[in-house]
Amino acid sequence: MQQTPQQQAMLAMLDRAPMGWPHYWIFLLSTGGTMLGGVSVFTLGVAMPLLVQSFAIDAAMQGLLGAALLAGAVPGAALGGALADRFGRKPLMLIDTVVMIVGALIAAFAGDATLLAFGLFVFGVGVGIDYPVSSSYVAEWMPAAARSRVMVATITFQAVGFMVAAALTAAILGFVDAAYAWRGFMAMLVALPLLFLLGRLAMRESPRWLMGQGRNRAAADAIGAVITADRAQLAALGDASAGAVHLVAKTPEEVKKRGIAALFGSAYRRRTALACVPWFLMDIASYGIGLFTPMLLADLHFSSARSGVVAADFSDIRGTSLIDVFLVVGFLAAFWVIPRYGHLRPQVLGFLGMTIGMLVLVAALWSSGPAHPAVAAIFAGFILFNLAMNVGPHSTTFALPAELFPTQLRGAGSGFASAAAKVGAALGAFFLPVVKAEYGLSAVLVLVAVVSLAGALVTAVLVEELGGAKSLEARHAPDVGDASGGSPA
């Protein structure tokens, strides 16, 4: 460990501060990527029937459009997290909103499906950048007692994004009763990141990142702008630390010498696998099902009473919104579950619940058939899947990387994990509609059940004890993870 007593004192003030309005403002501004990711996924799912009519696209192109949005997040997350470790959290949080705006503009004015896919890819790059940067930023600012709940709340805004998108897309369809209403959806994806960009201009840089760069006086000033404290005392602490670089890691010298490569060294490679593999599997399941829920409902004839593509789209929005309400319910349950039981047990049980939810859907289809679906059982399967996912892996996989890695690796580690997750998301979005076209809806549901079960098994195998430490820094003491025990993170 390399830290001065003054740096320890500043971080203690940050960790022990009560939640104030500046903390809530930091949290809200940090939800941009997760909320806009949810908005974009829901919007594309609702737009897909309109796009099929406008561009006469086949199942492969439908999969490509969904994959483009998610594939863009892969380089975005991988590069964004590493760049945030080098240049700071705030600059990248501004850049990613600009990238989203540019991508949405390209999509809104696209004249064919290829250009639309490119615009969605660019938008996805911006979302991908935001995921690791915002999670690092929130973890580094929040008081220790509130950190777990605020991390869950940040990813909860993906579900809030679904609700926002449902309301806005329904409103747009109410005014534009035509297949080209999807252009209004894309315009919505321009306006929302613009609002976040304006709000983020006044954000303060993460004090933990500043201290990791030896900018201790700037860190003290940032802390003083957010928490109630003696500004003169903070300034004195910052000045006394001078240019000392704050570095707390299991192997500080390895982090200093190897940089990002330390993620795959002996000290952190197990944590890297724990951050990446379950999130990869979770996103195959969650994005594949979430992106195509409106189309799955349409295939189950829930919109058959309405005539025309726009009228049917209204029905699919309502059915999808009813299911997505339980995303929020699951996240609300996670506020209580994760601080009480940690990250890893809810992750394992959540994956198992997702598996059961998909098997309920399969049983409902096999027992009743798509021509006469067992509506209650089908909705029960979707609801169980969403509840289990958000109480468990959807919340925990987002929050874990920020706690698994030290400040100098936090962005890169979170970015690498997020990139792995988006690879899974893109694979799910691309292959699930192809599997559905070739082998039917039941094959999709069975595949998602298998992937969910794999997530539970992988988490159980890779589980690592992080101790019950509240401080981010205490999680990286050399003895953390040893046989001394502790509760799982």
* Mean pLDDT, rounded, for 283-308: 60
Q: Is the pLDDT of residue 316 over 50?
A: no
Q: What percent of the chain has pLDDT over 90?
A: 49
At 275, the amino acid letter reads: A
- Indicate the pTM of the whole model: 0.84
**Selection from 81, 85, 79 nearest residue 206 by Cα:** 85
Give me the pLDDT at residue 488, please.
41
Give me the pLDDT at residue 462, please.
87
Give me the pLDDT at residue 295, please.
55
Q: Confidence band (pLDDT; 50, 70, 90) for 483?
A: very low
Give me the pLDDT at residue 292, please.
55
Q: What is the pLDDT of residues 51-76, one digit of tens each?
A: 888 887 877 787 788 788 888 999 99
Give me the pLDDT at residue 327, please.
64
Q: Confidence band (pLDDT; 50, 70, 90) for 272?
A: very high
Give me the pLDDT at residue 410, please.
95
Give me the pLDDT at residue 296, please.
58
Q: What is the pLDDT of residues 385-442, one digit of tens each?
A: 988 998 899 889 998 898 889 999 999 999 999 999 988 887 887 787 788 788 887 8
Mean of per-residue pLDDT scores for the chain: 84
Give me the pLDDT at residue 291, please.
54
Give me the pLDDT at residue 314, please.
43
Q: Confidence band (pLDDT; 50, 70, 90) for 353?
A: very high
| DSSP symbol at 474 | G
Q: Is the pLDDT of residue 148 over 80?
A: yes
Q: Confidence band (pLDDT; 50, 70, 90) for 238?
A: very high
Give me the pLDDT at residue 307, please.
45
**Least reliable range by pLDDT among 39-48, 303-312, 396-405, 440-449:** 303-312
Give me the pLDDT at residue 25, please.
96
* Mean pLDDT, rounded, for 460-464: 82
Q: Confidence band (pLDDT; 50, 70, 90) for 473?
A: confident
Q: Is the pLDDT of residue 305 over 70?
A: no
Q: Confidence band (pLDDT; 50, 70, 90) for 290?
A: low
Q: Which domains does the chain show, CATH number per domain?
A: 31-203+247-476 (1.20.1250.20)
Give me the pLDDT at residue 11, please.
94
Give me the pLDDT at residue 23, please.
96
Q: Is the pLDDT of residue 464 over 80?
A: no
